[in-house]
Amino acid sequence: MFQVTNKKSITILALLLFLCAACQPQGDVSGVKAPDASSPKVVEPANSSYSPTYASVSANGYGAIASVNPLATQAGLLAYEQGGNAIDAAIATALTLGVVDSHNSGIGGGCFILIRWADGSVSAIDGREMAPAKAHPQLFIRDGKAQPQLSKVGALASGIPGSLKAYEALVARGGKLTLADALQAGIRHADQGFPVDRVFASRLKVTAEKLQKFPASAGIFLKPDGAPYQEGELLVQKDLASTYRKIAAEGSAYFYGGDFAKAVEGWMADNGGIISAEDFANYRLTERQPVKSEYRGYTVYGFPPPSSGGAHVAQILNILAHFDLAAVSEVERYHLLAEAMKLAFADRAYWLGDPDYTKVPKGLVSAEYAADLAATISNQRATPVAGHGTPPLSDSDFFEQLNKHTTHIAAADKDGNWVAITTTLNTSFGSKVVIPSTGVLLNNQMDDFSIKAGEPNAFNLIGAEANKVEAGKRPLSSMSPTLVLKGDVPVLTLGAAGGPTIINQVVQALVNTLDMGMPLDQAVAAPRVHHQWMPNRLIVEGSLSEPTQQALQGMGHEVKVWGNFGATQAIGVDGDDFKAVAEPRVQ
């Protein structure tokens, strides 16, 4: 459990940045002392060999950063040193990740941002990709059959990116520096190159054949002989550096209304795509009402639809609240987790989608509905789940936008401001398409739609009518930036990478912390399980003891062992200190 002190008398800057992708990124977290008034505006970059695994830092005049790459973390540290606040650190980190961890994220993708303001309010900013205006439900159907490869790779796989517009809005309203400042570290690493790390090299190895299909992509990520870059070799991205410089000079107008949008339109027209420059011009940010729930005396905030994360983290926790997880055996605890996950993912498949197009019932997160679902769970046996449930008021009470227009975002370096960003291209290297002469890798978020009812996507998730392809719609996501408060004091923020396992990673970290009383690093490191209803199997990590695995099998679970999965990052508090924890599985 957390020891909480009232922090209203001190300045706190807290930032947690997550990468969401099929792969598992490396982890890096740091703390940095906030600058005093005499700090110089220009500071030399931090030593590139600096790569801490986690830090416990004083809250008095300090901030905390958690990211998946040490070079990106250093960009956030530098923003603090230059006089910036948590917003500046967040965006500098994100934009640098788009260079040094570009297989996971970048300005060709989207993001969710969850913010807890100093006044105690919480906002959810939706920078998720939008489907092009020419998208339609039959886009990936040929002769009545789904063609899933079209939604994963190539010209039809991408939605309109939203990350850059969200980043610019954050800096403009709440930052002390500028978007141009935030781009500088990324420009430097793209222009001068950076050593490819182990995870980047492994992702290149398995994706090289698909990247080879697109000359601009192969020209960046593969050597002249077609071989992928190896760990430790220098990867240079001159075109991306040039694009970053143009954005620094012109702002996001270059991207959404200028030459970049025109370049995308031209490439799409030549390669069977449907994205136009007008699609970029019409992209909008949306502010939504966060999902709020209570668990074990804590308030948990999550991201609302089109994220399934907030709703189903809350739903699973609401179900688990009916069981004393600290009092049962390890076997029974994992069993109850699996049963709650299974019920939530069955609902996800049927009910969840973009609330601007689909009526997503708020009853999914109601305590009444959770009690009904909990009553179906046996403590001794796995219970078959035939399909979705029906939450209360499912025909009348829905998630919706907070407003109907583009939103701006505010943040300030005052007491209690916490920022959590989750950003992604979807699967490794997104659509595998780099727009020539720009260096920008486009997402493959169209695969997060249900391209045909019952057809699994890249993560074996199935969907229904609620998540069908439609023009201007945002696809369903599992990204789960999460904030936890005790009373009115923030005590924990966390999120994860790993497709649909994200939801269950977050749940297990919360259970390990709030139920089991584990220190945050142990809560993140503990063995994980994952069930997503379909396919009907319980994924367990190899670190889960063999007797526990066998006992779960004996309870009727179809157990499948994976080595490790996921990448969770978290920042918590311990008295007046922050503790930032990076995923140990990918160190």
| pLDDT score recorded for residue 69 | 85
Asked if the model's pLDDT at residue 358 lies above 50, the reply is: yes
User: What number of CA atoms fall less than 13 Å from residue 459's CA on the CB side?
Assistant: 33
Q: Assign 583 a pLDDT band (cuts: 50, 70, 90).
A: confident
Asked if the model's pLDDT at residue 147 lies above 90, the reply is: yes
Q: What is the mean pLDDT of residues 285-312?
A: 95
Q: Which residue has the higher pLDDT, 479 or 399?
A: 479
Task: Return the domain boundaries, the chain.
Answer: 55-131+160-193+288-384+404-431+482-582, 197-235
Q: What is the mean pLDDT of residues 402-417?
A: 33
Q: How far apart are CA 568 and CA 481, in angstroms?
A: 11
Q: Give phi and psi for 291, each to the nearest 5.
A: -80, 130
Listed residue (179, 214, 248, 113) closest to 434, CA to CA: 214
Q: What is the mean pLDDT of residues 299-310?
A: 95
Which of 298-307, 341-350, 575-584 has the lowest average pLDDT?
575-584
Q: Assign 362 a pLDDT band (cuts: 50, 70, 90).
A: very high
Q: What is the pTM of this model?
A: 0.87
Asked if the model's pLDDT at residue 264 lies above 50, the reply is: yes
Asked if the model's pLDDT at residue 143 lies above 50, the reply is: yes
Q: What is the mean pLDDT of residues 319-333?
A: 99
Q: What is the mean pLDDT of residues 125-138?
A: 97
**Which one-letter amino acid corresponds to residue 349?**
A
- How crowded is residue 415: how many other Cβ atoms within 10 Å of its Cβ? 17
- How crowded is residue 190: how many other Cβ atoms within 10 Å of its Cβ? 27
Any known ligand binding at 151? no
Asked if the model's pLDDT at residue 402 lies above 90, the reply is: no
Q: Assign 306 a pLDDT band (cuts: 50, 70, 90).
A: very high
Asked if the model's pLDDT at residue 430 lies above 60, the reply is: yes
Q: How far apart are CA 76 and CA 88, in angstroms?
A: 7
Report how far apart, in Å, the C-alpha atoms of 145 and of each of 272, 350, 361 are. Answer: 19, 21, 30
| pLDDT score recorded for residue 587 | 61
Q: Which residue has the higher pLDDT, 283 or 492?
A: 283
pLDDT, tens digit (0-9, with 9 covering 90-100), for 171-206: 887 788 999 999 999 999 999 999 999 989 999 999
Asked if 93 contacts 420 with a C-beta cutoff of 8 angstroms, the reply is no
SS3 104: coil
Query: Helix H segments across 485-558?
Result: 501-510, 520-525, 546-554
Any known ligand binding at 252? no
Any known ligand binding at 426? yes
* Placement of tokens 């030459």 in the chain: 259
Residue 86 is encoded by which pair of tokens? 């948590």
pLDDT-above-70 percentage for the chain? 84
| pLDDT score recorded for residue 346 | 95
Any known ligand binding at 128? yes
Q: Assign 397 a pLDDT band (cuts: 50, 70, 90).
A: low
| pLDDT score recorded for residue 16 | 58
Q: Assign 99 a pLDDT band (cuts: 50, 70, 90).
A: very high
Q: How far apart are CA 547 and CA 321, in angstroms?
A: 26
Q: How far apart are CA 200 and CA 208, in angstroms?
A: 12
| pLDDT score recorded for residue 17 | 58
Asked if the model's pLDDT at residue 128 lies above 60, the reply is: yes
Name, in order, each residue with C-beta under 8 angstroms of 179's C-beta and a sequence gap of 6 or more: 91, 167, 168, 171, 172, 247, 248, 251, 252
pLDDT, tens digit (0-9, with 9 covering 90-100), for 2-55: 543 333 222 233 455 554 443 333 445 444 333 332 222 222 222 222 233 332
Q: What is the mean pLDDT of residues 432-446?
A: 98
Asked if 401 contacts 355 with a C-beta cutoff of 8 angstroms, the reply is yes
| pLDDT score recorded for residue 62 | 46
Query: Helix H segments across 321-379?
Result: 330-351, 367-374
| pLDDT score recorded for residue 359 | 87
Q: Give phi and psi for 496, each to the nearest 5.
A: -155, 170
Any known ligand binding at 142? no
β 62-67/28-33 pair status = antiparallel
Q: Give phi and psi for 354, each to the nearest 5.
A: -70, 120
Q: How far apart are CA 130 and CA 160, in angstroms?
A: 5
Q: What single DSSP character describes residue 465?
A: G
Any known ligand binding at 545? no
Any known ligand binding at 173? no
Report how far apart, in Å, the C-alpha atoms of 107 and of each of 195, 441, 524 are. Answer: 21, 8, 29
Name, in order, each residue with C-beta under 8 angstroms of 415's C-beta and a sequence gap of 6 or more: 7, 8, 9, 10, 11, 12, 118
Longest CA pairwise span in the chain (Å): 68
pLDDT, tens digit (0-9, with 9 covering 90-100), for 69-90: 889 888 888 888 898 877 888 8
Q: Which residue has the higher pLDDT, 221 or 488?
A: 221
Which of 158-167, 194-203, 295-304, 574-583 has the lowest average pLDDT?
574-583
Q: What is the mean pLDDT of residues 206-229?
A: 98
Q: How far apart are CA 13 and CA 90, in angstroms?
A: 11
Q: What single DSSP character describes residue 183?
A: H
| pLDDT score recorded for residue 576 | 73
Q: Assign 68 a pLDDT band (cuts: 50, 70, 90).
A: confident
Q: Which residue has the higher pLDDT, 172 or 246?
A: 246
Listed residue (145, 117, 106, 176) closest to 430, CA to CA: 106
Q: What is the mean pLDDT of residues 504-526?
A: 97
Q: How far apart are CA 586 and CA 567, in angstroms?
A: 7
The answer to whether the Cα torsion of 181, 183, 185, 187 is positive or negative is negative
Q: What is the mean pLDDT of residues 92-100?
A: 94
Q: How far apart are CA 581 and CA 41, in angstroms?
A: 29
Q: What does the buried/exposed string (b/e) look like for 126-157 if buried means 16 or more CB atoms within 10 Å of the residue's CB?
A: bbbbbbbeebebebbbeeeebbbebbbbbbbb
SS3 assignment for 374-395:
HCCCCCCCCCCCCCCCCCCCCC
Show contacts of 144-151: CB within 8 Å, 24+ apart: 146/451, 146/452, 146/455, 147/451, 148/447, 148/451, 148/455, 148/456, 148/457, 148/458, 151/444, 151/446, 151/447, 151/449, 151/451, 151/457
Q: Which residue has the higher pLDDT, 400 or 176?
A: 176
Could you give the residue numbers annotated as active site?
406
Q: What is the mean pLDDT of residues 328-337?
A: 99
What's the residue count for the chain?
A: 587
| pLDDT score recorded for residue 394 | 66
Residue 308 is encoded by which pair of tokens? 């399934």
Any known ligand binding at 242? no
User: What number of CA atoms fall less than 13 Å from residue 92's CA on the CB side?
Assistant: 32
Mean pLDDT of the chain: 85
Q: What is the mean pLDDT of residues 437-445?
A: 98
Q: How far apart are CA 86 and CA 493, in angstroms?
A: 14
